[in-house]
Amino acid sequence: MTKTKLGECQKKAWGLLLLSHSATTRKIDAALRSEGLPSLEVYDVLLALEDAPERRMRMVDLAEAVVFSPSGLTRLIDRMVAQNFVERIACVHDRRAIYVHLTDAGLRARKQAWPRYAELIQEHFGQFLTDAEARDVAEGLSRVEVSRRHCGSERERG
């Protein structure tokens, strides 16, 4: 990876990314909660599990997969177990590992929340970008994500 000095355009983009992400996610989360739908953190976990093989992941892998901070993941999973959205399953081969499995009720909750979540994304984000701008944003952020994953795998190999 080329190491160059941070340019003014990149600095401005970084600041706007942080500010817009923070403000937008707070607004969307508040709207979802006020309507009795799962919070963004819960939705994040539900979606990650829905996309996983057999709708389950080890806790350590789930912590890597979620968008929001994994620091309170254990407590979040405790609440989601109480809501019957997920269940914990002990790993047969490694007693230290715990799987989190998406229940049918959790899948229904995720699917029920999606239409409103999509409306809120459009209201607080999508309406401000043309299709071409959205593609450009997605393309740029995809490169950042690929780099993040690549750097993470480099660190794991040591």
Q: Choose between 149 and 120: higher pLDDT.
A: 120
Confidence of residue 156 (pLDDT cuts 50, 70, 90): very low
Is the predicted pLDDT of residue 155 greater than 90, yes or no? Answer: no
Q: pTM of the prediction?
A: 0.83
Percent of the chain scoring above 90 in pLDDT: 75
Angstrom distance (rounded) from CA 19 to CA 103? 34
Residue listed under structure tokens 């080329």: 2
Domain 17-124 fold is Arc Repressor Mutant, subunit A (1.10.10)
At 158 the pLDDT is 43
Judge whether residue 152 has pLDDT over 80: no
Distance CA 74, CA 72 (A): 6
The predicted model gives 38-64 an average pLDDT of 95
- Residues 3-21 have pLDDT tens digits of 689 999 999 999 999 999 9
Tell me, what amino acid is at 18?
L
Residue with tokens 């993040």: 148
